[in-house]
Amino acid sequence: MKTFLRNLTFVGWLSFIGIILVFMVAIFAPILATNDPMETDPLRRLSQEEGFPLGCDQLGQCVYSRLIYGARLSLIIGFSARLSALFIGLAVGLAAGYAGGWLDWFLMRIVDMFLAFPSLLLAIAVSMVMGSGIKTVVFALAIVGWAEMARIIRSAALELRSAEYVIAARTLGASHLRIVLTHILPNCLPLITVIFTMGIATAVLSEASLSFLGLGVDPSLPTWGGMVASAKDYMLRRPELVAYPGLCIAFLVIVFNVFGDELRDILDPSRKGNW
Amino acid sequence: MLEFTIRRLSATIPVLIGILLIAFIVLYMIPGDPAQTIAGPRADAATLARISEEMGLNQPLYQRFSSYLSRIYHGNLGDSAVSGKPVLESVIEKLPYTLKLAAIAMTFSIVLGILAGIISAITQGRWLDRVCTVFSVTGISIPVFLSGLVFLYVFAVKFRWFPTSGFRADNTLMPFILPAFTLGIRSAAFLARIVRSSMIEVLNQDFIRTARAKGLSPARILFKHGLVNALIPVITVIGLDLSSYLNGSVIVETIFDLPGIGRFAMDAILQRDYPVIQGIVLLGALVFILVNLVVDLLYAWINPKIRDEMLGKTAR
Amino acid sequence: MPINREEIKLYQGGNMKRFLFSTAFVCVMFLTASLLFNSPAETNPSSYKGVFSGYLSSEPSNLDPARGVDVNEASIQAKIFDGLVRYDEKMKLVGNLADSWTVAADGKEFVFRLKQNVFFHNGQVMTASDVVYSLNRILDPTVGSPRTWVLEKVEGAAECLRGEASTVSGITALDDYTVSIKLIAPFAPFMSLLSMPACYILPSGNAHEIADRSFFEKPAGTGPFKITDRVRDSFVKLTANKNYHGQKPHLASMDIRIIPENMKAEMEFESGNLDMLQLYPANYERFKADPDFSSRITDVPSLNVFYVGFNNQVAPFDDARVRRALNMLVDREKIIKAVYQGRAIPANGSIPPGISGYNKDQNGLEYNPEEAKRLLKEAGYSISKPLTFDLYQRSAQSAFEITRLLQGEFKKHGVVINLKPMEWSALKDAVSKGEAPAFYMSWFGDYPDGENFLFPLFHSSNWGAGGNRARFKNDDIDHMIEESVKIQDNARRAEAYDRINRKVAEHAPWIYLWHASESYLTSSKVNNMDFTPMFFCDNALTLTVND
């Protein structure tokens, strides 16, 4: 960890601080928020009352407090979606890469199928099947995201399979599961960290897109994508209602992208410069 | 090469069938009765039953799937449940808009992306490089719906440089500029990254150093040797990105109201127009698979080493 | 029995927000031109000048009158087709293709005398056989019309629908220009039903193209405009029909564009590319505050009712005390003021103003939190055991702007609402099947008769998809509705409707919300534009546009 921090560039530090900042906002949302983010009041419609730092939206909700809680939701959804995708991706990728042969062929065809789908259409279809809600969005994003992870992990596992220490372990009679867990998985960790971090950015973006299309979580919840969607019709009158949540999404995605990039340069120098 | 082609193809067909299966199952599970959608609110049970019968909604699932497969095989994507028009016909009618949009977007992204990438690579570490990096990171991070709204607001509403919508878009190029820019900026950002890193890699290789030592002009080195070699990964990225245009077009065509495939898909999803959704999903997946096939084959043809590598392991 | 406007249309693609009441149709349909100078119909001072640029919020994908269930579609149909009768801009029933008609004393036979020398856009002459063909088509089971109910009281309709007869015995051509329609029982609102788009007349000479639907790409009717160009999801171009049988349109043509996003329409209007804009809570205040625009805004009272329906058959809403209490917890005036800027009237029944049977007297369900709390306590709810329920609604911004406010207001009184946003057809399904305990919806009239706001909504034969989504059942009320439609005298029938309306309100099957107006902004080029509350009444005859 120490060497890692030492290796961070200036931009890397900035993004690292940015991520910490978002996390702090998410954790301390109840303290930072000035109002209940979901409290509506017809009389406060689009008003600029005192006690509402950024004014109110068309439902009389405190825009500032919604932005603060939005950080929490974005992180929760981004992380859980990515974790779920990672689990499926790990299982499939390791199995395919380590086993090889027909299992590899079969699993990779399934991966190809999921990669071939227009991902947004697939996510939309999944959220329509399951109805709206946080679980749905997480599931939809996991369905859309796991295949890419599986492919990357599989190619790493494929290389490690023929590494000397793996062959040595096998000749010593170690079980396959043991080899995968103690030799292959740990060696994939840097790679996993990188794709996980960058995946958060993708997941946050996709969640925002779904919410924007009205297919995400319950719009009463303060998600940034949902805030953009609900302010869109008011854009000519109050453009800032679109701008605030929009900038928040962009900020969160940028810091995760940049940080992921840095991580990759440090942990996996062979792929330096590629996304 | 033949062996590679055959193996590559044999991996494609099961994927196609799988895609049809997944699309079919997902749509089957979507709540809402398509017969009711067609029949309207006051339809009686008899009408509903008749429409269900006509649409084959009463058959067992596997039968519906197999009849779907056989229809596809005969080039029939079915009729739209809403307008009654054959899906293929509508898709062909709308395809030009999306193709035009994608073509312009791609032009944007290639020109911008390669330019920014090269500038970045030759000014590596200096401020111009930083500017390009900031551009590419921002481009990748800003959601399409947001950049679309911002461009719309700034360039169409405030400055009035562009029309705000795609009305009679077939007559002119102008309505496509903003949406194409919105769509292209993301892949331009990706491209800039890739071009930068592969340029840097190539420029550091021995043959470039040799050329430089021989006193060839920097521009000549850059284009003749650097760029050509750096372009190989770029082609892959462009190919892969093609399918992202279909995703992006759902949002972009909705925001800029262009009557293309993306908006057609969104409408169909909201109207539960199953045949149309299936048709578009199939089309999207087909395009993706074909493009990948072509890219892989091209790749293997250009670079036999890669081919052997792929054969040695397994066709991807 | 009417289709409910939002139902019809709400699917619009990619449209994320839109106001529920307007969801469906925007614009053009509402403009019926006013006769500012009261000019006689024969003279046509204009020589087809000007192009009107309007828009619809979704593609009118189906222009078949018999199959249409969508207001956007109906607005186009209204300009290219004619029915036997129509409502004029003053909401008076007048002849259209029918010159005159007689109603038998028993109220069971209608004889229509048709205009002569009326031609379809494709040159065919319109005769009684076209009328018989078109009306028969609605009841033809192979057509699968969702509007069979419009003619279900016609003699022989049931046999035809069941496939036992190939033609409807009650619809006959007495000669080339005389048509007779016989009913099985007297039904006073029948003439109103005939004005609906479903009953528009098609050319029987094109039966073959009509059957394979290719006719409806650019259908030919007898109406004042004909379709001359059309790109799906982009625009429909209507050109004046110079051979129109009635008062001729002033316009040369209308460009009707498809613009699903309110925001986009707003931008286009401001860029001068549209001649009319439907206003929403999102932009009404902005235009109203601008003196350049405010004088060109027209508020049109519309025939609708917005409500929160309850499933009256399941707990907790099988208890009338709960339903009444919830009605008393809604401060309608406050929400109307905020969201509609006052452009709505609190509903005290299902019948909107302007419809026979409307009565502005209060119904005893006004905002009264004290009484509501007492009723809730009586029904067994308190702070420690709050009334909690799921409110089903469309997953659309326009719906959320209301339901979120209701949710917030109820919360202040200790009632917990969980919103269940759903896509439109899923919502319809859930509500029709009785799975939704409560749901936010609206009802838009199909014809200006009180029956349209009572029979479908509260008669027990219409449970579910028929319109009685609240599953309300009361034998007395069923009987009262059945008797009311037999009354031929309009004033007496209106009284009967009023009695039923008030009696239903006593049971509080819904939370009656409001009757919302619709507001339109026109460009400075537009003159003589009049607006009617019924979407299919407008055929843009008197509208003029300056170049």
Q: Which residue has the higher pLDDT, A270 or C314?
A: C314
Q: By CA distance, what is A130's nearest residue in C?
A: C422
Query: Does the pLDDT at position C508 exceed 70?
Result: yes
The reported pLDDT for the residue numbered A96 is: 92
CB C1 within 8 A of CB B38: no
pLDDT the model gives residue A269: 66
Return the structure tokens found at C304. 């609708």
Please report which confidence band the pLDDT of residue C536 belongs to, taking 50, 70 and 90 as the band edges.
low
Q: Flag whether residue C287 sits within 8 Å of chain A, measured between CB atoms.
A: no
What pLDDT, in 10s, does the model give residues A100-121?
888 998 999 899 888 888 777 7
Beta strand extents in chain B (DSSP E only): none
Q: Which of A128, A225, A261 sits opposite B30 (nearest CB)?
A: A128
Mean pLDDT value across residues C347-356: 92
Contact of A220 with chain C, judged by CB distance below 8 Å, is answered with: yes
Give the model's confidence band at B55: pLDDT under 50 very low, under 70 low, under 90 confident, else very high.
low
Q: Tell me whether 0.85 is exceeded by the ipTM.
A: no
Tokens 């301390």 found at: A28
* Tens-digit pLDDT profile for residues C16-55: 333 333 333 333 333 333 333 333 444 455 578 889 999 9
> Quick one: tokens of C100?
């005159």
The predicted pLDDT at position C313 comes to 94
DSSP state of C199: G
Out of B29, B138, B254, whose CB is closest to A254? B138
Distance CA C404, CA A44 (A): 14
Residue A220 has its nearest CB partner, among C281, C419, C423, at C419
Residue C119 DSSP symbol: B
User: Is residue C214 over pLDDT 90?
Assistant: no
What is the pLDDT, as a whole number, of residue A118?
A: 79
Chain-chain contact of C338 with A233 (C-beta, under 8 angstroms): no
CA-based nearest residue in chain B for residue C468: B42
Q: Do A240 and B154 meet the contact criterion of CB atoms below 8 Å apart?
A: no
Q: In what order do the strands lie in the sheet with C171-175?
A: C98-103, C109-114, C178-182, C171-175
Place of tokens 């394979």: C212
Distance separating alpha carbons of residues A180 and C107, to the nearest angstrom: 86
pLDDT of residue C496: 95
* Residue A190: both structure tokens together: 């840097």
> CA-CA distances (angstroms) from residue A16 to A20, A78, A197?
6, 17, 12
User: Which among C89, C95, C136, C92 is positioned nearest to C112, based on CA atoms?
Assistant: C95
Instruction: Provide the shortest C-alpha distance from residue C381 to chain B (in Å).
Output: 34
> Amino acid letter at A75?
L
Q: What is the pLDDT of residues A124-161, one digit of tens each?
A: 777 777 777 889 899 999 988 899 899 889 988 888 88
Quick check: C400 and A212 CB within 8 A?
no
Contacts of A125 in chain B (CB under 8 A): 23, 26-27, 30, 269, 277, 281
The predicted pLDDT at position B222 comes to: 72
Fill in the DSSP letter of residue C463. Answer: B
At residue C91, does pLDDT exceed 50? Answer: yes
pLDDT greater than 50 at residue A229: yes
Distance from CA of A218 to the nearest CA of C (A): 7
Measured in angstroms, the CA of A154 and the nearest CA of chain B are apart by 11
Chain A residues touching C420 at Cβ < 8 A: 131
Nearest of A207, A237, A201 to residue A222 by alpha carbon: A207
CB contact under 8 A, B36 and C466: no
C-alpha distance from C481 to closest chain B C-alpha (Å)? 19
Q: Do A257 and B200 touch (CB under 8 A)?
A: no
Distance CA A134, CA B50 (A): 38
B234: nearest Cα among B124, B139, B112: B112
Q: How far apart are CA A251 and CA A205, in angstroms?
A: 11
Give the model confidence (pLDDT) of B260-281 as tens digits: 888 888 877 766 677 787 788 7
Top mean-pLDDT range of B179-183, B217-221, C64-68, C474-478? C474-478
Which residues on chain C are in Cβ contact (under 8 Å) with B152? 267
Mean pLDDT within A58-87: 94
Q: Is residue C428 over pLDDT 50?
A: yes
Of the listed ranges A39-53, A58-72, A156-170, C31-45, the one predicted with least confidence:
C31-45
Question: What is the token pair recorded at A136?
Answer: 């749905």
CB C358, CB C456: distance < 8 Å = no
Q: Is the pLDDT of residue C224 over 90?
A: yes
Interface contact C59-B84, CB threshold 8 A:
no
Single-letter amino acid, residue A132:
S
Nearest Cα residue in chain C from B254: C14
Interval B199-216 mean pLDDT: 76
**Alpha-carbon gap, residue C270 to B154, rounded angstroms:** 14
CB–CB of A117 and B285 under 8 A? yes
pLDDT (average), residues C53-64: 86
Whether B50 and C233 lie within 8 Å, measured CB to CB? no
**Per the CB < 8 Å rule, is A124 touching B18?**
no
* CA pair distance C307, C6, nearest whole angstrom: 13
Give C443 to chain B, closest Cα distance, Å.
Answer: 12
Q: What's the helix, strand, coil split of chain C in %, to 5?
A: 35, 20, 45
Residue (of C26, B157, C10, B184) closest to A232 by Cα position? B157
pLDDT > 60? residue C346: yes
Cα(C378)–Cα(C511) distance, rounded to whole angstroms? Answer: 19
Statement: residue C523 has pLDDT above 70: yes
Which tokens go with C141?
A: 């089971």
> How many contacts, defined by CB atoms under 8 Å, are there between B and C?
146
Long-range residue pairs from A102-106, CB within 8 A, at least 24 positions apart, any chain = A104/A154, A104/A158, A104/B314, A105/B11, A105/B314
Residue to substitute from B16, B145, B204, interface A, most A β-carbons within 10 A: B145
Three-state SS letters, A1-28:
CHHHHHHCCHHHHHHHHHHHHHHHHHHC
Summarize the confidence of residues A37-58 as an average pLDDT. Answer: 90
Mean local confidence (pLDDT), C337-343: 90
Cis peptide bond upstream of C316, omega within 30? yes
Separation in Å, CA of A173 to nearest CA in chain B: 25
CA dist B136 and B117 (Å) reads 9
What one-letter code names the amino acid at C397?
Q
Q: Give the pLDDT band (50/70/90) at residue B306.
A: low
The 3-class SS string of C287-335 reads HHCCHHHHCCEEEEECCEEEEEEECCCCCCCCCHHHHHHHHHCCCHHHH
Residue indicated by tokens 């008797």: C483
| Residue B102 CA from chain centroid, whole number | 8
- The answer to whether the CB of B182 falls within 8 A of the CB of B252 is yes
Helices (H), A28-163: 29-32, 63-99, 101-116, 119-130, 134-161
Give the nearest chain A residue to C335 (CA atoms): A42
Which distant-in-sequence residues (6+ apart) come within 8 Å of A66 by Cβ?
A37, A57, A222, A227, A245
Mean pLDDT, to the nearest integer, of A1-8? 69
Q: In what order do the strands lie in the sheet with C51-56?
A: C51-56, C253-258, C235-240, C225-231
Measured CA distances, C64 to B255, C56, C77, C144 (Å): 29, 17, 8, 12
Distance CA C232, CA B160 (A): 26
B18/A110 touch (CB, cutoff 8 Å), yes or no: yes
| Crossing angle (nearest 10°) for helices B274-302 and A101-116 | 120
Q: Give the pLDDT of residue B63.
A: 79
- Residue pair C160/C28 in contact (Cβ under 8 Å)? The answer is no
Q: Name the residue in chain B with its Cα closest to that of C70.
A: B40
Strands C304-310 and C416-422: unpaired
- Over residues B114-172, the pLDDT tens digits come to 888 888 888 887 888 888 888 888 888 888 888 998 898 888 888 888 877 766 645 67
CA–CA min distance C538, chain A (Å) = 28
Assign C267 to helix, strand or coil: helix
Q: What is the distance between the alpha carbons of residues A37 and C408, in angstroms, rounded to a whole number? A: 12
CA distance C256 to C196: 21
Name the one residue in this structure whose structure tokens are 């979580």: A217
Question: What pLDDT is attached to residue B79?
Answer: 76
Q: Is a pLDDT exceeding 60 seen at residue C442?
A: yes
> What's the rounded Cα separation, in Å, for the pair C421 and A217?
10
Is pLDDT of C2 > 80?
Answer: no
Six token digits for residue B214: 């021989």
Euclidean distance between CA atoms C281 and C299, whole angstroms: 13
Cβ contact C485:C187 at 8 Å: yes
Contact A227, A66 (CB under 8 A): yes
Residues from chain B that touch A205, judged by Cβ atoms under 8 A, are 141, 143
User: Is the pLDDT score of B249 beyond 80?
Assistant: yes
CB C348 within 8 A of CB C363: yes
Record: contact A233-C282, CB cut-off 8 A? yes
Is the model more confident about C338 or about C46? C338
Residues of B in contact with A209 (CB under 8 A): 143-145, 251
Question: Could you tell me which residue, C57 or C510, shows the higher pLDDT?
Answer: C510
Chain A residues with beta carbon closer than 8 angstroms to that of C332:
none
In angstroms, what separates the C-alpha of C98 from chain B's closest C-alpha?
28
Tell me which of C17, C18, C56, C264 to substitute to probe the interface with B (most B C-beta atoms closer than 10 Å): C264
Cβ atoms of residues C521 and C22 within 8 Å: no
CB contact (8 A) between residue C14 and residue B267: yes
Among the ranges given (A67-81, A111-125, C253-267, C483-497), the one the predictor scored with the smallest mean pLDDT:
A111-125
Rounded to the nearest 10°, the torsion over CA C314, C315, C316, C321 is: 80
